[in-house]
Amino acid sequence: MTAILQALASGLALGAIYGLIALGFNITYATTKTFNFGQGAFLVPGSLVGVSLLLLAAGKPHWGNLAPSEMTLFTYGLATLASVAIVGAIGILLYYCAIKPFVGVGGLNWVLSTIGFGIILQNTALAIWGPASIAVPSPLGNEVYRIAGAGIRPQEVLVAVVAIAVMVGLDFVIRRTRFGKALRAVAFNPQAAAIVGINVEKIVIIAFVISSALAGLAGILIAPITTASVFIGLGVALKAFSAAIVGGLTNARGCVLGGFLLGLIEALVGLWRAEMREITIFLLIIIVLVVRPSGLLGARSVEKI
Amino acid sequence: MINRISRRAVGALLVSTSLAFALPAAAQNEIKIGYNADQSASGAAELGLSGLYGFQAAIEDINAKGGVLGRKLVGVIRDDAASPPKSIQNMNELIDNEKVAAVVGPTNSGNALAWLHIPQQKKVPVVSHVATATDITARYAKEPQNYIFRVSMVDREQLALLAAYAVKASKSKNIAIIADTTGYGQAATKDLQEILALHGIKPVAVEKFGPKDTDMTSQLAKLKAAGADMVVTGSLADATAQVLKSMEKMDYYPGLLSTWGSINTPLINIAGAKLAEKTIFAASTTEDASDHATALHKRLIAKHPNMPAFVSAAQGYDAVMLIAAAIKQAGGTDGDKVQKAMESLGEIQGIIKTYKKPFAKEQHEALGVADFHLAQWKDGRVVKLDNEIVKSLAAADLKR
């Protein structure tokens, strides 16, 4: 019984990570029907820039290891803001380099251009930080919370809370605000949106900035769980992308739901056979795509990308 | 104007040619030893970095006593960043361009296995001072001359020690194995199963996890359900740290035995100093193991205050000492003669022990299970483990 409870707790903790990253796919897809295939690489500057700022503030070189005493909730908060701002700014660069030349052209050029941009970003980080991973203590401490025998760490709870908060925020912005209306208008028909006076390019840039900033946020938030490194995004971004597909790319709630679902499957299948985890997840994705092509919560549509 | 430029160019040409002439003259009096190991990238990079400190210290000591055959020893250092292609490139460069007499390295077994054929074909002796894969010294064992030697832990041997300890320490004889899905982790799993079979024990559970996984609670739940009170893991330090963190989540603490990767600081950085104390691992030496070790540790830590993993520094030091002795015995740097000298060395004082005829035709491991002991992190330092179970381990227990 405790084993199942633990698997549920661990699965939700893992799922929150996938969900948080998956949200980054939602906002740009909802606007331009494109998204950043290199999103995983955007976690890299997210984690490393924030951690390096904390290291420099502690008077250490930018690639050392952080001691728990060198991190407070306040400094971690500042580092998070810096990560979000810097990676958000990289989003503008991403738009001009990898999206703008291909928007509205059709074809899959943007897929390769965003992957390529991600690889450039990752290798730039490799040149600056080197390949070693940096252990990051959690600002909330390393104590284990115990619920009926199942353990979970405060940082994992924080990731889940932030994922849900961002989801609610995005949902609200897209459904209830003027900006959200403009976003949806651009997604529905960019030409018509332009005719009614919406600055289409501005909206699209903002979408990419938000998406990138979310990757930055995810990077610094998961660093205390996974360690910060140039390879932080490799495995999780693919799972996050799968989560977005399963839950529905067009729906923020779907992305987070997909994340939790994948995390739970991974932990529960692990109780049975660890090597069956990925097999189960990707089988599920295929089944969902057959039954509901736009994901569990995605809007049904007949158009093709 | 043109005149002035050309005059300058001629001047530069003259300087560079005179340098080019000067270099070989100096080089002839030197004996170069290559160092090709990851010092920056993988979870084992610290072993390569500490190994370098030991390598340099040994060269210093030898040169202080007049070098080898009256010639100065020079270390040529390369970092392969744990990448096999880079490691191969380094190896070719060290042998073909730098003309090194021998090479010490690498850090990662996979890199060794990628380039072993190069020194073997070009007849340049190699001493592996970190990489532990059993196959490294075994691959060319059947050749007339095997150029690959080792002064390090050997996986099969360290796992034999861990298994022996697990069998003694386990009350229920319920022993389990958990390892990552890398080649290293899976080879360790296979070795462990075979060794435990020699003890007449079948592990109650064998689990695996992805090398980047951060939560192993599901796999550990199965070990717990199987009643395992001793768990052996073959993984690098970062993965072992995640296993410990998952154990903490579950409040399930069987004895956790790990390979010497746990000597690296990612273990304490990721798991935290207190949790890191909960694993016992194999080591060839610790800084408190002997007077020689204490002296070298003191000297290196004065120069490199952040030196991690002393163990590989000692191994790097001893590797150079053995190579230098062989070159001296061979009367030169001819690879073929140095290889033969390596196999017929006499008594050499090292840091880990006094080597008495360390290598022979059939024996390319300078260290074996009898030289290894168990260690543990204590207050941020690695110390030798000396409890009742360790004391009760006899030679007959070390089945392999």
- Structure-block tokens of residue A54: 């904390």
Shortest distance, CA A298 to any CA of chain B (angstroms): 29
ipTM confidence score: 0.88
Are A152 and B249 within 8 A, CB to CB? yes
| pLDDT of B317 strictly over 80 | yes
A149 Cβ under 8 Å from any chain B Cβ: yes
> What pLDDT was estimated at residue B2?
46
Q: Angle CA(A161)–CA(A166)–CA(A172) in degrees, nearest 5? A: 130
Q: Which is more confident, B184 or B98? A: B98
What is d(CA B223, CA B4) in angstroms, rounded to the nearest whole number?
81
| pLDDT of B20 strictly over 80 | no
Domains of chain B (ranges; CATH) run: 29-153+289-367 (3.40.50.2300), 156-283+373-397 (3.40.50.2300)
> What pLDDT was estimated at residue A133?
84
Are B218 and A131 within 8 A, CB to CB? no
On whether the CB atoms of residues B275 and B248 are closer than 8 A, the answer is yes
- pLDDT, tens digit, 9 for 90 and up, residues A113-126: 999 999 999 999 98
Mean pLDDT score of chain A, rounded to an integer?
90
Q: What is the mean pLDDT of residues B160-166?
A: 95
What is d(CA A12, CA B158) in angstroms, rounded to the nearest whole number?
38
Q: What is the mean pLDDT of residues B62-88?
A: 95
**pLDDT bucket at A261, cuts 50 / 70 / 90:** very high
B265 Cβ under 8 Å from any chain A Cβ: yes
Shortest distance, CA B69 to any CA of chain A (angstroms): 40
Of B45, B221, B224, the CB nearest to A7: B221
Are A151 and B270 within 8 A, CB to CB? no
B81 Cβ under 8 Å from any chain A Cβ: yes
| pLDDT of B199 strictly over 60 | yes
What is d(CA B259, CA B191) in angstroms, rounded to the nearest whole number?
12
**pLDDT bucket at A58, cuts 50 / 70 / 90:** confident
Q: In this prediction, what percent of chain B has a pLDDT beyond 70?
A: 93
Are A144 and B214 within 8 A, CB to CB? no
**pLDDT bucket at B284, cuts 50 / 70 / 90:** confident
Residue given tokens 């002795």 in the structure block: B325
Q: In this prediction, what percent of chain A has a pLDDT beyond 90?
A: 63
**pLDDT bucket at A305, cuts 50 / 70 / 90:** very low
AA letter at B177: I
What is d(CA B264, CA B162) in angstroms, rounded to the nearest whole number?
18
> What pLDDT was estimated at residue A2?
86
Q: Please tell me which of A100-109, A130-139, A293-302, B296-305 the model is most confident about, judged by mean pLDDT.
A: B296-305
Shortest distance, CA B242 to any CA of chain A (angstroms): 9
What is the interface size between A and B, counted as CB pairs within 8 Å? 82
A303 Cβ under 8 Å from any chain B Cβ: no
Q: Which residue does chain B place closest to A150, by CA atoms?
A: B250
What is d(CA B285, CA B371) in angstroms, rounded to the nearest whole number?
8
Q: What is the mean pLDDT of residues B310-328?
A: 96
* Sheet strands (E) in chain B: 30-36, 72-78, 102-104, 126-128, 148-150, 175-180, 205-209, 230-234, 255-258, 279-283, 347-349, 354-356, 373-378, 381-384
Mean pLDDT score of chain B, rounded to an integer?
90
What is d(CA B102, CA B126) in angstroms, rounded to the nearest whole number?
6
Q: What is the mean pLDDT of residues B374-391?
A: 90
Query: Is the peptide bond preceding residue B106 cis, with omega within 30 degrees of 0?
Result: yes
On whether the CB atoms of residues B184 and B213 are closer than 8 A, the answer is no
| pLDDT of A304 strictly over 50 | no
Q: What is the mean pLDDT of residues A246-251?
A: 90
Of A135, A150, A274, the CB nearest to B219: A274
